[in-house]
Structure formats: C-alpha cells, structure tokens
C-alpha cells in the first residue's frame, strides 16, 4: 500500500496542559468543592456534569487522588456538621421529619457526587482500598448524624415513643417511620440492629410483660387469649409496614414469651375459664385459639395435651365406675361413644387434627375402658341391642357408621377374648330366636372383627351363620320327604355344630307326646343322611308358639320357651298340678323349672298360670292352675325370656372362670411356639414375648405365664438350665 505518511487532518482532543502544578490540584479541587457546596444547597442545576467529571478525572489521572479523596472527606464532614445542627434544632415532632428530609437530601447529593467522582471510585479507590464514595457518604452520615451525641439518644427515644404510641392505639406516621427505618437499614444491618432493633425488642419485652400481667389479673382465659392474639397480629402487621422483615421472628418471639409462655400454665389451669371448662362446653373457638397460640412456644402443645389427657382420664374413670351408669349397659356404651365423638370433634375442629392429640385420646380411652372388667360384656350387649332393634329403619350408611364406632371401642379392649365369649352367647340367642334386625349388619360386623382380629376370632361365629343356613336347607329336605305332615310346619329344627356354638350343659327334658314323635321322625331323617353324627336336643334353647283358649273363651297365641311349653302342655290333661308333679313329668332341672314357673305365674300381665299360695317364690308344695281370668290386649303374648341380659353375679363369675381356663392353653401354646423357635430364652424375655403374642386377645398375667412355664417343665416340654436358673431350654 502506498501509505506514506499522510498528513491527516486530525482533530485532537482539547488537552489540558499536563502540568504538575501543585496549584493545579488546588484549583481543580476548588471547582469541585464549590460544586459540592452547590449540590448541598440544592443549586445543582447550574452545574455542568461533564466539566466536573472531567476535573475529577484529571485529578486522579495526575495522581492527585489522595488529595481529592481527603478533601472530599473534609467537605462532606463539614456539610454534615451543618446538617446535624439543623436537625438538633428541630422541635418535637419535627425532629424526625427534619432528619428524614435531610437524609433524602444527603442521598441525592451523594448520588450526584458519586457520579462526578465515578472515575476515582473505579480506579483510585480499589487500588488504595479506601471506602467507595457512596459508602463513605453513608458512614459519614452515620458518624456525624446518627451517632452524634446530641442526636443519638433523642433519635432512638423518638422512634420508641412512636411505637409505644401506636401500641396504645394512636395513629402515627407510618410512612415516615418506614423511611427512617429504611435509612437505618441502608446504613448497615448492624446499625439497624444496634441503634434500633435491640432496644426496640427490650422495650417491647418490658411493655408486654406489664401488659400481660395486667390482663392476666383481670381477664378470663378466653379473653386473655383473644388479646394476646390481637397483639401478636399487630406486631406482625407493624413489621410489614415499617420494619425490617427479619425483625418479625424476633418481635413475635418477644410477644410469645411474655404473653404466652410466661403465663401458660396459669391460663390452662384457670378456674372457670381454663382448658377444662372449654372442653366441657365445647368452646371450639377458644380452644382453637389456644392451640394456635400455644404451638408457638416450647411445651405449649404438650401442656394442653397433658391437661386434656388427665381430664379425659378422670371423666372416663368416673363414667365407667359410676354404679348408676352400670345399671344399663346400653346406656353405658352409648355414653362412651358420645364422649369419643365429642373429643373427635374437638380435635378436628380446634386442635387441627393433631396426631399427638389423637394418640392421647386413644391412650386415655384404652386406660379407662379397661378399668371396668365388664366393659367387654357391655359392649357386646350394646351391639346385641342394636342388632335386635336399635338399627331398625336405619340407612345402610348409618349402620356402617355405628358399627365402625363400636369397633373403635372394641379396639381399646385389652380382654378381647372376654368380648368374644359374650358376643358368641348373645349372637347365639339372636340367631336362634330369629331376632336380628338385619342379616347384612350382622355379617358386616363379623367382617370388621375378622379384619381386626384375624380369621380364628371369627371362624366359629361364621360357623354359626352357616349352621343356620344349613338348617334351613335341612328343614326343606325334611318336609319334602315327609309329605304326610302336610303343609303345617309345626316343627322347626336348627342343627348346631357343637364346636361353634357356646357350650351349654347337655340337659334334656320330657317333651310332650305330640312333639316327641315328630322329633324322632326328624332325628331318624337326619341321621339317615348324616351317619356317624350324634344329635342331642337342646331343650333349654328352644321356643314354641302355642294357641291357647282360656276359661272365658279368650283366645291367645303364646310365645314361650320349650320348658314353658312342656309345663303348659301338661295342663291339657290336668286342671291342677303341684310342683313335684310338674317336676317329675317334665324332668326339667330344678333351678330352671323354678325360673320357668315364676315367669308363667308371677309376672303381671303374663300370668297364664295361677299359683297357690300367691307368693313370689316357688315352693316345693305349691299348686298350679290355669289362670282362667288371664287377659291381654294383644292376641300374641310373649312370655319366653330368651333375650340377652346383663349377667347375674354368679353367672359372671362362671363366665370369667371359663375365660381364665380358656386362656391357659393359649398361654402354653404361645410359650411352646416361642421356645421352639428360640430354643433357649431367659425368663424376662419369655414373659415379654408371650405377652406380645397374646396382646391381640388379652393381657397376659406374668404370674399366670410363670405357672404355665412350671407346668410345661413338669411335663418335660421345657427345662431350666443347670447353671443359669433364669434360662429355659426347649426340649424337643
């Protein structure tokens, strides 16, 4: 390229003469100083940014950075001192406003100054590690204004006073507060914390300590909680409006501590308005508030839970041991269900469905339900009542709900095997008397029990249902094979498999001739198709419907038990019979016969027989006649007593004894099972393991387990170790 040195027409930048003239620096600075002054005096409009920038730039370039920086500090400092004086002079409420105004001014000024001195900020300052201009401005402000001895205290007090005013209900200038607080935050988080937040928190603590003391003396629990909640919300709102968001947890902590934590126990236990009263009156709102407030403080919820638990246990204990309540088992159980419902509602509405509360509820129920050894019996009676009549007309859904609730109570029982025994008895009576309101409900409950306790628990119960069904088929078959009996189905037989039904002592009585022939026919028919089986008539469990005509022509159909039928049929052939004759003719065992005669002769409205003498008790020499004067509004009269009832004391003892006897083989089976797999085990562990295995049925008594172990040792199933007598060994 033929590019010789062309003489380009250059436009050169206007260069200042590079003179290292000490006066140069001063002169330049003077310009800048003047500018700063003007800026502070709100006269910036007349300044040329470009020129000032250039001046600053040159100073730095010519190595006058030190001077520039130093003079800057001096100038700003003197301006701030001025400002400080004017703030100090402000009176009363204007103090803060003046401060705020001056701060805004300072910020604007600082921005402009920074812009002018940008080059210094970018080059000189990093290399000398000095504070950048903006930060420098803030620091100077902090040092000469905020921390000025004449301002500092007054400043803090003003702020705190305003907060206090607001707390006592006055309206304050929130915008101003916000700005001031923002200023502190801009100055640095430590400034905010030291110069405001810390004292703020201290003063707040004092305030709330006093306030809570005042309230706790004059308010009841519910009111107090409302006030505490209000204050808490207030503080949170204050933070959103004009404080640093990080202060929220700190101030709420203060309120929680002073208003809630310090008075927690007093609140919970407050007479007439504390937690117990809230529980009794179902005050969901108050309890919910208590829950929400207390969950904020340590051990808050556990305090509530403890009081609830002990109250519930006390209430429950009274419920189950109150002799009045124990008179009616159905009422007893209903009351338990109501109590459970109540607390379920409380926990879901007020306690946020908190699982720990649910657990406390469960453990309390488990505790007091088992205080009464008759609970299993009563629950079975309740179910019996429902299945007989209580569930009549109830929708399927509601039936399920009721049964589910009963299952919940069942789960709390420790002696589930006792329940099983009673349930079986009651079920037997229901099935045999045909008195169940809904087959579906019966089956549904069995399924629930099976899910809860396993197959073994319900296999026998299911067997009972099967027997009933099979018996129906058997009857069909019987009548089909005996057409000579015509259409009148006088005999209905239920064939019960011995193992499935509750054991009854095998007694028979002498059936009237009309019956026994028919019974024989059935027996031979049945045994014809089922060889190898044995049938025995359970005359203490049957019922009969007898058509009767009394002396004055009254016609009635009597529903009686088999025993009663045997007695009554005798009067077809005799007008008068004494006790001994009846006993001999029927062969009914004495205690049953006495009860039977009582129900026929001594009960008002059901006295189809007359007795001489007219006493309530049956004597050996009593004489019986048909009561010709018998009358009843109804054609059909029910006299039989086959309804399940609360057991009498001797019956209860007997059942309890049978349950204990049944437990022994179960305990032994558990011991053998465990030892077979473990081979060698020490005493304490056996007890623990056995108890655990049997837990779903009953609570095993350690002494009883020990006795069973000794019995097994004697029968050479186990042996004690020779050296360590605490160890047992399985003998194969």
Give contact residues for another protein (rule: CB under 8 A).
682-684, 687, 702-703, 706-707, 710, 713-714, 720, 725-726, 728
Shortest Å, Cβ 683 to another protein: 4
CA dihedral 426, 431, 435, 438 (to 10 degrees): 100
Cβ closest to another protein, residue 45 vs residue 722: 722
Shortest Å, Cβ 340 to another protein: 35
Shortest Å, Cβ 405 to another protein: 38
Dist CA 167 CA 188 (whole Å)? 27
Shortest Å, Cβ 725 to another protein: 6
Cβ closest to another protein, residue 20 vs residue 723: 723
Whose tokens are 């004894």? That residue is 657
Sign of CA dihedral 448, 453, 454, 459: negative
Q: How many residues does the chain have?
A: 732
Residue 358, phi then psi, degrees to nearest 5 = -60, -40
Cβ closest to another protein, residue 487 vs residue 714: 714
What secondary structure does DSSP assign to 404-433, as a single string? Answer: HHHHHHHHH-S-HHHHHHHHHHHHHHHHHH
Cβ closest to another protein, residue 544 vs residue 671: 671
Cβ closest to another protein, residue 45 vs residue 703: 703
Whose tokens are 């002769």? That residue is 601
Shortest Å, Cβ 665 to another protein: 18
Cβ closest to another protein, residue 258 vs residue 668: 668
Cβ closest to another protein, residue 440 vs residue 682: 682
Shortest Å, Cβ 699 to another protein: 16
Shortest Å, Cβ 656 to another protein: 19
- CA-to-CA separations, 428 to 107, 223, 421, 436, 448, in angstroms, rounded: 94, 57, 11, 11, 18
Cβ closest to another protein, residue 431 vs residue 667: 667
CB 655 within 8 A of CB 699: no
Cβ closest to another protein, residue 431 vs residue 705: 705
Q: Which residues contact 181 (CB under 8 A, 6 or more apart)?
A: 192, 196, 242, 243, 244
The helix or strand, by DSSP H or E, that contains position 383, with its residue range, turns out to be: helix 375-385
Dist CA 184 CA 193 (whole Å)? 9
What secondary structure does DSSP assign to 556-572, as a single string? Answer: EEEEEEHHHHHHHHHTT
Shortest Å, Cβ 682 to another protein: 8
Shortest Å, Cβ 726 to another protein: 5
Whose tokens are 């049978």? That residue is 658
Cβ closest to another protein, residue 165 vs residue 706: 706
3-class SS letters over 295-337: CCCCCHHHHHHHHHHHHHHHHHHHHHHCCCHHHCHHHHHHHHH
Shortest Å, Cβ 691 to another protein: 12
CB 188 within 8 A of CB 197: no
Shortest Å, Cβ 449 to another protein: 34
Cα Rg of the chain (Å, integer)? 48
Residue 610 has what DSSP assignment? E
Q: Which residues contact 346 (CB under 8 A, 6 or more apart)?
A: 279, 282, 284, 287
Shortest Å, Cβ 575 to another protein: 55
Cβ closest to another protein, residue 463 vs residue 702: 702
CB atoms within 10 A of CB 369: 23
Shortest Å, Cβ 686 to another protein: 9
Cβ closest to another protein, residue 324 vs residue 714: 714
Dist CA 107 CA 138 (whole Å)? 8
Cβ closest to another protein, residue 397 vs residue 716: 716
Structure tokens at 663: 């437990």
Question: What is the Cβ-side half-sphere exposure of residue 661, based on CA atoms within 13 angstroms?
Answer: 7
Residue 533, phi then psi, degrees to nearest 5 = -105, 165
């Amino acid at each position: 390229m033929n590019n010789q040195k062309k003489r380009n027409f250059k436009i050169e930048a206007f260069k200042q003469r590079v003179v290292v003239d000490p006066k140069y620096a001063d002169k330049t600075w003077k310009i800048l100083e003047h500018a700063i002054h003007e800026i502070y005096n709100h006269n910036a409009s007349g300044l040329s940014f470009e020129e000032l920038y250039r001046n600053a730039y040159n100073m730095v370039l010519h190595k006058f950075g030190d001077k520039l920086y130093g003079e800057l500090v001096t100038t700003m400092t003197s301006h701030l001192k001025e400002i400080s004086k004017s703030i100090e002079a402000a009176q009363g409420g204007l103090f803060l406003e003046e401060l705020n105004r001056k701060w805004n001014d300072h910020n604007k000024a600082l921005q402009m100054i920074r812009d002018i001195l940008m080059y210094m900020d970018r080059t000189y300052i990093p290399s000398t590690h000095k504070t950048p201009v903006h930060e420098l401005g803030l620091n100077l402000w902090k040092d000469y204004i905020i921390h000025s001895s004449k301002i500092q205290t007054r400043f803090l007090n003003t702020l705190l006073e305003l907060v206090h005013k607001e707390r006592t209900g006055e309206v304050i200038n929130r915008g101003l507060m916000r700005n001031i607080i923002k200023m502190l935050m801009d100055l640095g988080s430590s400034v905010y914390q030291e110069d405001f937040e810390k004292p703020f928190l201290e003063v707040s603590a004092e305030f709330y300590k006093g306030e809570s003391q005042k309230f706790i003396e004059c308010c009841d629990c519910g009111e107090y909680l409302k006030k505490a909640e209000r204050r808490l919300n207030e503080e949170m709102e204050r933070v959103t409006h004009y404080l640093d968001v990080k202060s929220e947890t700190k101030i709420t902590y203060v309120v929680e501590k002073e208003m809630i934590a310090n008075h927690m126990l007093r609140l919970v236990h407050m007479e007439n308005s504390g937690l117990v009263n809230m529980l009794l009156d179902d005050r969901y709102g108050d309890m919910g508030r208590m829950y929400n407030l207390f969950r904020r403080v340590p051990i808050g919820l556990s305090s509530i839970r403890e009081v609830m638990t002990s109250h519930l246990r006390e209430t429950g204990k009274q419920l189950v041991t109150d002799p009045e309540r124990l008179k009616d088992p159905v009422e007893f159980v209903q009351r338990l269900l109501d109590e459970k419902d109540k607390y379920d509602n409380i926990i879901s509405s007020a306690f946020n469905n908190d699982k720990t509360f649910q657990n406390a509820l469960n453990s309390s129920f488990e505790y007091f339900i088992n205080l009464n050894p008759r609970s299993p019996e009563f629950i079975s009676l309740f179910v019996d009542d429902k299945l007989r009549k209580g569930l009549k007309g109830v929708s399927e859904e509601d039936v399920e709900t009721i049964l589910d609730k009963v299952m919940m109570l069942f789960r709390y029982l420790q002696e589930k095997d006792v329940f099983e025994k009673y349930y079986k008895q009651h079920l037997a009576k229901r099935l045999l008397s045909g008195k169940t309101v809904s087959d579906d409900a019966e089956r549904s409950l069995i399924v629930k029990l099976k899910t809860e306790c396993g197959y073994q628990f319900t296999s026998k119960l299911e067997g009972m249902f099967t027997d009933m069904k099979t018996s129906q088929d058997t009857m069909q078959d019987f009548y089909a094979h005996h057409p000579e009996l015509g259409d009148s189905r006088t005999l209905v037989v239920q064939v019960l498999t011995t193992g499935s039904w509750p054991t009854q002592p095998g007694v028979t009585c002498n059936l009237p001739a009309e019956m026994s022939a028919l019974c024989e026919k059935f027996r031979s028919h049945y045994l014809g198709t089922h060889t190898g089986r044995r049938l025995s008539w359970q005359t203490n469990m049957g019922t009969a419907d007898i058509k009767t005509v009394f002396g004055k022509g009254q016609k009635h159909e009597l529903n009686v038990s088999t025993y009663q039928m045997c007695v009554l049929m005798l009067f077809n052939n005799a007008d008068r019979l004494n006790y001994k004759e009846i006993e001999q003719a029927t062969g009914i065992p004495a205690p049953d016969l006495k009860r039977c005669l009582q129900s026929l002769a001594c009960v008002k409205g059901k006295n189809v027989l007359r007795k001489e003498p007219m006493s309530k008790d049956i004597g050996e020499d009593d004489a019986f006649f048909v009561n010709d004067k018998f009358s009843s509004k109804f054609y059909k009269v029910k006299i039989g007593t086959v309804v399940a009832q609360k057991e009498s004391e001797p019956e209860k003892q007997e059942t309890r004894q049978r349950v204990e006897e049944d437990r022994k083989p179960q305990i032994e089976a558990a011991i053998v099972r465990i030892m077979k797999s473990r081979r060698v085990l020490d005493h304490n562990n056996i007890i623990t393991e056995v108890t655990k295995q049997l837990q779903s049925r009953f609570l095993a008594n350690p002494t009883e387990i020990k006795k069973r172990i000794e019995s097994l040792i004697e029968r050479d199933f186990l042996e004690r170790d020779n050296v360590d007598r605490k160890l047992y060994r399985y003998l194969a």
